[in-house]
Chains A and B, each alone.
Chain A
Amino acid sequence: MQWEIVIGIETHAQLTTQSKIFSGSSIAYGAKPNTQANTVDLALPGVLPVLNKGAVERAIKLGLSVGAKINSPSIFARKNYFYPDLPKGYQISQYELPIVEGGCIKIQTGETEKTIHLTRAHLEEDAGKSLHEDFQGMSGIDLNRAGTPLLEIVTEPDMRSSTEAVVYAKTLHSLVRWIGICDGNMQEGSFRCDANVSVRPKGSETLGTRCEIKNLNSFRFLEKAIDFEARRQIEILEDGGSIRQETRLYDANKDETRSMRSKEDANDYRYFPDPDLLPLEIAESWVNQLNDALPELPEARRSRYMTDFGLSAYDATVLTSAREIAEYFENTLERLPGQAKLCANWIMGEISGRLNKDDTEITACPISPTQLAALLSRISDGTISGKAAKIVFESMWNGELDQNADAIIEAKGLKQISDDGAIEKMVDEVLAANAQQVADYRNGKEKAFNSLVGQVMKATKGKANPMQVNEILKKKLQT
């Protein structure tokens, strides 16, 4: 039987506020245990939550950037369960009337575009952390993270493969960073995905029973966990079994998912509106203000790159994968009008390759867009060859001669010979010395031409402009 995989994703994006969602404690990462947990975060008797405006603002921004409805009022609810990292015995979240409802995100897999619909996005507080190293057989609880603002972004079951799921996650990851609401740091847990996976016979309209895989904190794990889980479910079904709805954990070491205690699933969270928090009303004027301040979004920019600059969908997608990359591209292009493809190739090739190698971000790129443009302009005006440009690039990356492309070209003597006369002279010499190949070419051996070009290039130590060499050689051979 042919199976179809159906995936929905829930993402917890930690918001880039200074303070917690309901208290004035810092959310800075890496502090000593419990030094960023105040009376509210510790749920001391008598304390009360007060909502952080910065968290609300970020939720609205996300809503606006995915074309969703911003609910006003929206309601905060308590999700009740006992766990040592949950100090109040309930998590303040949203249940009915989340702050963001609907909306969609377009994803690009290769040259195909697909729309992933969002169900909702709601504000909630993060829990603390349990540390399992041995304290006389006990666990240690650190509540620094408790109360950190999260936006939980939930999709419809619109994805059909782990690849689509990963592309969606990457697109969302890029979007939340683009609009500045989440730093996207997956190692620190600032962006975590849960995947709801089910399978069904291809062509079937009804959804299969799903399993939720919790806390996938890398794109690779997301992909592998979905693949494993889909295989697991298909095997069970093909053996005539049935899937039990449950929460599962992905074990990266074993590359498998396993069931969490089924108690989790039997839990009855007893959601009800938090009596300590009032209905959240959001003024239209505030929404408009935030809308006006929103940057051009990746999707809009991607299509602009395609229509205005004639870039491929692939190039446009890569260049808009992060706001910083797009800014870098545009700043480079600004100094090199009409050379979008050249800029794109270099940014996606050399620049991103070197950044990867050095494990740094484009914001820390040692070559500025102006400097890169200066280098690329020497390719486009024929001063240097592409090959020579790579040498110049390397020197610039290493900080030589103040990253001045012209100075490096000069110092390294990389200028191309573009003087027709000089090249003609070289061509004449090569033709004279290779009579046999000239004869071969004239007898229809195309290969001989390339060999002659090579000879000319060799004679000029690679500095001749290859286009000119081609042209002149062809002309001479025809006469």
Chain B
Amino acid sequence: MTLSVNDVKRIADLACIETSESEAQATLGQLADIFKLIETMQVVDTSSVEPMSHAQDVVQRLREDKITESDQRDLYQSVAPQTEAGLYLVPKVIE
């Protein structure tokens, strides 16, 4: 696998992180090294192995359908960058 600067920019875009040309260049070198390390796992034969998503073999527990929460808007919005009339404000959303 060879990673290009364009790959770095594309994933930075997907991750919504502003990345300058020089940052992308620098990151490319580091990621290339890391992926070299990661590639070492490709040598193992895993054709008959099930992927493991969780550390424990347990199943999802279900919550009873009950309302347990009450309005705490003021508390929660006390940490918000910008609110008005109970709404979180963001730069105009264009649909």
Cβ 8 A contact of B90, one of A80, A84, A249, A261: A84
Chain B contact-residue range equals 20 to 34
Q: Are A139 and B69 in contact (CB under 8 A)?
A: no
CB of A472, distance to nearest CB on chain B (Å): 67
Cα–Cα, bound, A18→B69 (Å):
11
Cα–Cα, bound, A420→B89 (Å):
82
Q: Are A270 and B85 in contact (CB under 8 A)?
A: no
Majority DSSP secondary structure for residues of B touching A: loop
* Chain A residues near B72 (CB-CB < 8 A): 38
Q: Are B59 and A279 in contact (CB under 8 A)?
A: yes
Q: Are B71 and A36 in contact (CB under 8 A)?
A: yes
* Chain B residues near A23 (CB-CB < 8 A): 69
Q: Are B53 and A275 in contact (CB under 8 A)?
A: yes
Cβ 8 A contact of B88, one of A36, A53, A141, A275: A141
Q: Is A34 an interface residue (CB 8 A)?
A: yes
Flag A11-35 by CB within 8 Å of B: 1 or 0 each. Answer: 0000001110001111000001111
Cβ 8 A contact of B59, one of A24, A138, A281: A281
Assuming the A-B contacts A270-B14, A280-B59, are A141 and B89 also in contact, with contact meaning beta carbons closer than 8 angstroms in the complex? yes
CB of A157, distance to nearest CB on chain B (Å): 27
Majority DSSP secondary structure for residues of A touching B: loop
Q: Is A73 an interface residue (CB 8 A)?
A: yes
Q: Are B85 and A140 in contact (CB under 8 A)?
A: yes
Flag B51-69 by CB within 8 Å of A: 1 or 0 each. Answer: 0011000111111111111
Q: Is A414 an interface residue (CB 8 A)?
A: no
Cα–Cα, bound, A35→B92 (Å):
22
Number of A-B contacts (CB under 8 A): 124
- Give the one of A17, A33, A131 with max B CB within 10 A: A33
Q: Is B93 an interface residue (CB 8 A)?
A: yes
Assuming the A-B contacts A51-B60, A279-B59, A281-B60, are A140 and B89 also in contact, with contact meaning beta carbons closer than 8 angstroms in the complex? yes
Flag A137-169 by CB within 8 Å of B: 1 or 0 each. Answer: 111111100000000000000000000000000
* Chain B residues near A56 (CB-CB < 8 A): 62
Cβ 8 A contact of A278, one of B16, B59, B65: B59
Q: Are B69 and A25 in contact (CB under 8 A)?
A: yes
CB of B45, distance to nearest CB on chain A (Å): 23
Q: Are A35 and B16 in contact (CB under 8 A)?
A: no
Assuming the A-B contacts A24-B66, A34-B73, A36-B71, are A140 and B87 also in contact, with contact meaning beta carbons closer than 8 angstroms in the complex? yes
Cα–Cα, bound, A23→B67 (Å):
8
Assuming the A-B contacts A24-B66, A44-B76, A130-B93, are A34 and B60 also in contact, with contact meaning beta carbons closer than 8 angstroms in the complex? no
Q: Is A268 an interface residue (CB 8 A)?
A: yes
CB of A258, distance to nearest CB on chain B (Å): 11
* Chain A residues near B64 (CB-CB < 8 A): 53-54
Cα–Cα, bound, A455→B58 (Å):
85
Q: Are B90 and A53 in contact (CB under 8 A)?
A: no
Q: Is B95 an interface residue (CB 8 A)?
A: yes
Residue of A nearest to B11 (CB): A268
Q: Are A38 and B69 in contact (CB under 8 A)?
A: yes
CB of A48, distance to nearest CB on chain B (Å): 11
Show 22 A/B contacts (Cβ-Cβ < 8 Å), sorted by A.
A17-B65, A19-B65, A24-B63, A33-B87, A34-B77, A34-B87, A36-B69, A36-B71, A50-B61, A51-B60, A52-B65, A53-B64, A56-B62, A80-B14, A140-B89, A141-B88, A142-B87, A261-B94, A268-B14, A275-B53, A278-B58, A278-B61
Interface set of B (CB-CB < 8 Å, partner A):
14, 16, 53-54, 58-69, 71-73, 76-77, 82, 84-95
The 7 nearest A-B residue pairs measured at CB: A54-B65, A140-B87, A24-B68, A53-B62, A35-B71, A141-B88, A38-B69
